[in-house]
Chains A and B, each alone.
Chain A
Amino acid sequence: MEKKKLVTIVTESILEKKIAKDVLRLGAHGYTITEASGQGERGMRSSDWEQSRNIRVEVVCDNTIAETIIEYMAQTYYEDYAMIVFVHEVEVVRPEKF
């Protein structure tokens, strides 16, 4: 088993297409997007209304790509959008996939 980084981005669903493109462009080989809801600094993000739906984007990648993604998200979206990003260390079964 090999160690990789799992980057998780929770943000507004309107950014779905942009972020999907961003992470691939920044070197990740894939991503997983799920719907999410919750509450934070920018208020309740409930999934009941299209305009306030949240998504959770998960990317497993190398350390350097993880850092690039985190840096890019912070620069591009932190100021204007509801977004949190966090990183886990994970062990992957088929390292060649990432």
Chain B
Amino acid sequence: MIENLLDPVILFFAMGLLAGLLKSDLRLPEAIYEVISIFLLMAIGLKGGVQLAKTNIALILLPVGVTVLLGLSIPLIAYPILRKLGKFNEADSAAIAAHYGSVSAVTFAVVQTYLERLLVAYEEYVTVLLVVLEIPAIAMGILIARMKTRKHTIDYGLLFHEVFLGKSIYLLIAGLLVGWAAGPERIEPVAPLFFDLFKAALAFFLLEMGLVAARRISDLRRVGLFLIGFGILMPIVSAVIGTLFGYLAGLSLGGSVVLATLSASASYIAAPAAMRIAVPQANPTLYLTASLGITFPFNLLFGIPLYHWMGAILYSMGG
């Protein structure tokens, strides 16, 4: 746990968080933030694509299936908790549930660097699972909201455009395809930029994410204690399910830690945009604060080592 907190990537995040809480005027210029986020998404995709080129596609069918199931089931678990225990209205509950089923690509990048630092092996194709997990939960959230609340006319063209052609999914898929088509040898010339500099870029990006998260923390007073607790406990519940699913799908320990972290992470780019279009009556302050102000920092600082520990226990029992 302490070891994780001393990783430079995590320390950069903590420094950003601190700067935000102390109201420092530190701020990355918007264009730089954009460039780094594009770089990171492209690099995550590329890395996964190159690995995918070495993998037998038939091997990933079961993990992909399990991941879709995860994406559909997490919102179904989260919704009644938010609705019955949290007393949120239907729209807010459905929107928050969708965020917790969907994923955060940056959290994924952090768990990858975490496992690489500890030399824990994981399946090369996990990036595919990241892409796969992003969408079903959003669809499920929208479905719940439409069943439970007054019907809005949804502009489906705009919704699909935001979800599939939004920057985050498009770049991940584009990176995967480029990496897969080019293969390990042809990717070599671009490797120094995309792979060798990856961790430094991630650290830089997390400095800014710390600032963004800190601004969300000032909204905590407005969302109430229940949502704060939910933002910490729900990822743990999801991670337990993710670990079990990973184990049952035959993933290695490393692979199931990645799947657990993916399940635990909450979206803050694709899901908010989709919810704003499809479930506009839900309050964005609630889902953004929970996902960005609570769950994202929790996963980075404490969640990932916790999920690793959980996985290690399960795998040592199961052999």
A residues with CB within 8 A of B:
12, 14, 17-18, 43, 46-52, 79-81
Contacts and interface: CB of A to CB of B under 8 A. Distances in A.
A51 B212 contact: no
B269 interface: yes
Interface in B259-287: 268-269, 272-273, 276-277, 280-281, 284-285
Contacts of A17: 158
Contacts of A46: 215
Contact of B276 (A47, A48, A51, A79): A51
B185 interface: no
Given A12-B276, A49-B212, A50-B269, A80 B281 contact: yes
Contacts of A51: 268-269, 272-273, 276, 284, 288
Nearest to A53: B30
Contacts of A47: 30
B54 interface: no
10 contacts: A14-B277, A18-B158, A48-B212, A49-B212, A51-B268, A51-B272, A51-B273, A51-B288, A80-B281, A81-B280
Given A14-B276, A51-B273, A52-B288, 9 more contacts: A14-B277, A18-B158, A47-B30, A48-B215, A51-B269, A51-B272, A51-B284, A52-B284, A80-B280
Interface string B304-318: 000000000000000
B33 to A, nearest CB: 8
A77 to B, nearest CB: 8
B191 to A, nearest CB: 29
B30 A48 contact: yes
A67 to B, nearest CB: 23
B273 A14 contact: yes
Interface string B279-303: 0110011001000000000000000
Nearest to A81: B280
Contacts of B155: 18
A46 to B, nearest CB: 8
Identify which of A18, A48, A50, A79 gathers the most chain B CB atoms within 10 Å of its CB: A50
Sorted nearest first, the 6 A-B pairs with minimum C-beta distance are A80-B280, A51-B272, A14-B276, A80-B281, A49-B212, A81-B280
Contacts of B280: 80-81
A17 B276 CA distance: 13
B40 to A, nearest CB: 15
Nearest to A82: B284
B186 interface: no
Contacts of B268: 51
B277 A79 contact: no
Contacts of A48: 27, 30, 212, 215
Contacts of B276: 12, 14, 51
Contacts of A12: 276
Contacts of B288: 51-52
A12 B215 CA distance: 19
A80 to B, nearest CB: 4
Contacts of B212: 48-49
A46 B277 CA distance: 19
A43 B158 CA distance: 25
A82 to B, nearest CB: 9
A14 B272 CA distance: 10
Contacts of B162: 14
B276 to A, nearest CB: 5
Interface string B213-237: 0010001000000000000000000
Nearest to A76: B153
Contacts of A18: 155, 158
A49 B209 CA distance: 10
Contacts of B277: 14
B216 to A, nearest CB: 9
